[in-house]
């Protein structure tokens, strides 16, 4: 949703022209707030209500509505945020959605390594609020003497500005927390060898910006912030408190102002020092409790995670088994904490599809789903020792064997009941006729072949095949009739074509 008034990247202008145009100068937090409010207003103007508009800001994540409300409130208030919760709940995906939402356009001093705004060079009020970097200070000071720099005396026509799109390394930086991330990874340093070679301290080539300087005027994402060493956390704290960063081997500080978003698993929260934690608004990102939301997570990934077709009943049942695991097994044990993650949700259908293909079947069965579940869940176990892994593997297998059958029954019941009510309009006679046709077809190759050439045969089942094809879109390689037969077999195996309260999607097993 770009702003129609936004200049094209690469557009050049002087500080004098920008000042004449009354170009606003905002902090990263203010720019983010303005962009969020602008997008919300545009979405509301399209007819979306408040909740739907907020939800539309995050197209790649599926989380409870209250989580989105909390995130937007934090951003509009100008806060830095920390997403914490179980592994695989969507914390990093949410952080990436925030970066996608962040406004990318910015006027910068051409050639500045940390993207100073042109008006910070020529406007005393702007310079006081957003001090220019030492390199620009020398560059525009009389004789290159930083002590003589005075923004009121700089000729604004001589300050070249360029409009850019923020990108990795230039207004956006991502840091993966680990014990090996040292302070200079964040601060960067002055390369003394380059300084000696170039002989010009004003050259941007002498500065090797660290992550904090790369994020200046933009966005910093720190994954697993609690894994950073204490000294590295203190460097980040200084930037959040003061908006400045002092590179290694430098006597001068550079501007380091950005919106910071961190993520942390539950087990690392105690490793975040209190002063840094106080600078971050903590927001819990947990697993979705609503079955429909978990299905949406899988739906968003299908087509990118795997190319085959898995019947909806199997996909749905796989999701229910993972939901049952979340309800009955805690996520505080690091050895099994990822078994119920969203990543496992996405793995199940892909593994089921792969297992069927390796066995020479284009359409997976219930047995393939069982193998796919065990494979995906076992793959998320942490192997600390052979014995503990085998014990946890047994636990996973036993869990799948206990909860797969009721999950398939619930998923098949929901599927049949929706067809029975929405298409058959609860006509028992039509349902009986359909079931009769399906039972004649399902295991008789000769009858199936005859039906393929005689379109007058099995009219009710053909209607069911159209429904399956439109609902599931199995692709060009699988005919709707073949797909419908596979769905019918699942319904007969697990639903017995009866309706009770099975259509309550969100009821737990």
Q: Is 152 within a domain?
A: yes
Q: Does residue 124 sit in the same domain as residue 235?
A: yes
CATH number at residue 49: 3.40.50.300
Q: What is the span of the domain harbouring residue 114?
A: 12-283
> Residues, the chain, total?
509
Measure Cα distances from 497 to 269, 364, 493 in Å. 49, 21, 9
Residue ranges of the chain whose pLDDT lies below 70: 1-4, 192-205, 303-307, 330-332, 385, 501-509
Q: Does residue 205 sit in the same domain as residue 97?
A: yes
Q: Is 367 within a domain?
A: yes
Residue 330 confidence (pLDDT): 65
Whether the CB-CB separation of 80 and 276 falls below 8 Å is answered with: no
Residue where one domain finishes, among candidates 236, 267, 283: 283
Measure Cα distances from 496 to 101, 367, 420, 428, 491 in Å. 48, 18, 13, 14, 7
pLDDT tens profile 394-444 = 999 999 999 999 999 999 999 999 999 999 999 999 999 999 999 999 888
Residue 333 confidence (pLDDT): 74
Residue where one domain finishes, among candidates 217, 250, 283: 283
Residue 387 confidence (pLDDT): 82
Q: Does residue 250 sit in the same domain as residue 310?
A: no
First-to-last C-alpha distance (Å) of the chain: 41
pTM of the complete model: 0.87
Q: Does residue 278 sit in the same domain as residue 378?
A: no
pLDDT tens profile 122-151 = 999 999 999 999 989 989 999 888 899 999
Q: Does residue 164 sit in the same domain as residue 32?
A: yes
Residue 401 confidence (pLDDT): 97
Q: How many domains does the chain have?
A: 2
Residue 210 confidence (pLDDT): 94
pLDDT tens profile 97-116 = 999 999 999 999 999 999 99
Residue where one domain finishes, among candidates 241, 264, 283: 283
Whether the CB-CB separation of 495 and 413 falls below 8 Å is answered with: yes
Q: Does residue 241 sit in the same domain as residue 329?
A: no
Q: Does residue 487 sit in the same domain as residue 366?
A: yes
Q: Is 7 within a domain?
A: no
Q: Does residue 158 sit in the same domain as residue 101?
A: yes
Q: Is 269 within a domain?
A: yes
Q: Does residue 277 sit in the same domain as residue 340?
A: no
Dihedral sign for Cα atoms in the order 231, 232, 235, 241:
negative
Q: Is 53 within a domain?
A: yes
Measure Cα distances from 379 to 216, 321, 335, 392, 396 in Å. 39, 16, 11, 11, 10
Q: Does residue 273 sit in the same domain as residue 349?
A: no
Residue 372 confidence (pLDDT): 96
Please return the burial class of 125, using the count of CB atoms within 10 Å of its CB with bins 0-12, 13-18 and 19+.
Answer: exposed
Q: Is 2 within a domain?
A: no
Question: Taking phi first (over 0 means left), then psi (-120 to 50 degrees means alpha), and beta for anything else, what does residue 39 get?
Answer: alpha
Q: Does residue 442 sit in the same domain as residue 303?
A: yes
Q: Is 500 within a domain?
A: no
Q: Does residue 304 sit in the same domain as residue 332?
A: yes
Residue 203 confidence (pLDDT): 60
Strands in 105-109's sheet, in edge-to-edge order, are 12-14, 160-165, 105-109
- Residue entry with tokens 């599927």: 415
Q: Is 45 within a domain?
A: yes
């Amino acid at each position: 949703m770009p702003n129609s008034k936004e200049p094209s990247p690469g557009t050049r202008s002087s500080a004098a022209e920008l000042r004449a145009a009354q170009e606003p100068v905002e902090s990263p937090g203010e720019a983010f707030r303005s962009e969020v409010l602008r997008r919300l207003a545009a979405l509301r103007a399209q007819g979306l209500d408040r909740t739907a508009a907020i939800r539309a800001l995050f197209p790649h994540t599926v989380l409870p509505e209250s989580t989105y409300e909390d995130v937007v409130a934090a951003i509009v208030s100008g806060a830095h945020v920390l997403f914490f919760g179980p592994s695989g709940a969507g914390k990093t995906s949410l952080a990436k959605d925030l970066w996608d939402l962040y406004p990318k356009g910015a006027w910068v001093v051409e050639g500045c390594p940390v993207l100073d705004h042109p008006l910070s060079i020529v406007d005393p009020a702007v310079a006081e609020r957003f001090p220019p970097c030492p390199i620009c200070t020398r560059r525009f000071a009389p004789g290159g003497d930083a002590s003589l720099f005075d923004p009121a005396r700089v000729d604004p026509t001589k300050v070249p500005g360029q409009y850019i799109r923020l990108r990795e390394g230039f207004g956006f930086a991502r840091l993966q927390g680990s014990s090996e991330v040292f302070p200079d990874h964040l601060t960067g340093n002055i390369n003394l060898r380059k300084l000696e070679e170039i002989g010009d301290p004003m050259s941007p080539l002498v500065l090797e910006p660290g992550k904090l300087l790369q994020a200046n005027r933009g966005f910093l994402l720190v994954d697993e912030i609690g894994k950073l060493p204490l000294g590295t956390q203190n460097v980040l704290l200084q930037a959040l408190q003061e908006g400045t960063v002092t590179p290694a081997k430098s006597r001068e500080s550079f501007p380091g102002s950005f919106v910071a978003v961190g993520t942390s698993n539950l087990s690392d929260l105690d490793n975040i020092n209190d002063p840094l934690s106080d600078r971050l608004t903590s927001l819990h990102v947990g697993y979705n409790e609503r079955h429909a939301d978990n299905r949406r997570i899988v739906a968003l990934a299908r087509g990118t995670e795997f190319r085959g077709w898995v019947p909806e009943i199997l996909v749905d049942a796989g999701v229910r088994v993972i939901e049952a695991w979340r309800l009955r097994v805690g996520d505080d044990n690091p050895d099994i904490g990822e078994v119920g993650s969203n990543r496992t949700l996405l793995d199940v259908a892909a593994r089921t599809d792969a297992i069927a293909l390796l066995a020479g079947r284009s359409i997976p069965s219930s047995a393939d789903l069982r193998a796919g579940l065990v494979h995906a869940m076992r793959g998320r176990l942490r192997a600390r020792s052979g014995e503990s892994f085998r014990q946890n593997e047994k636990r996973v297998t036993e869990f799948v064997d206990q909860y797969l059958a009721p999950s398939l029954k619930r998923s098949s019941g929901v599927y049949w009941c929706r067809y029975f009510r929405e298409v058959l309009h609860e006509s028992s006679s039509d349902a009986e006729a359909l079931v009769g046709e399906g039972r004649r077809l399902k295991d008789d190759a000769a009858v199936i072949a005859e039906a393929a050439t005689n379109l007058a045969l099995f009219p009710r089942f053909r209607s069911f095949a159209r429904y399956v094809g439109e609902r599931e879109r199995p692709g060009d390689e699988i005919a709707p009739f073949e797909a419908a037969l596979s769905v019918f077999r699942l319904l007969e195996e697990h639903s017995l074509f009866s309706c009770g309260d099975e259509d309550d999607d969100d009821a737990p097993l």
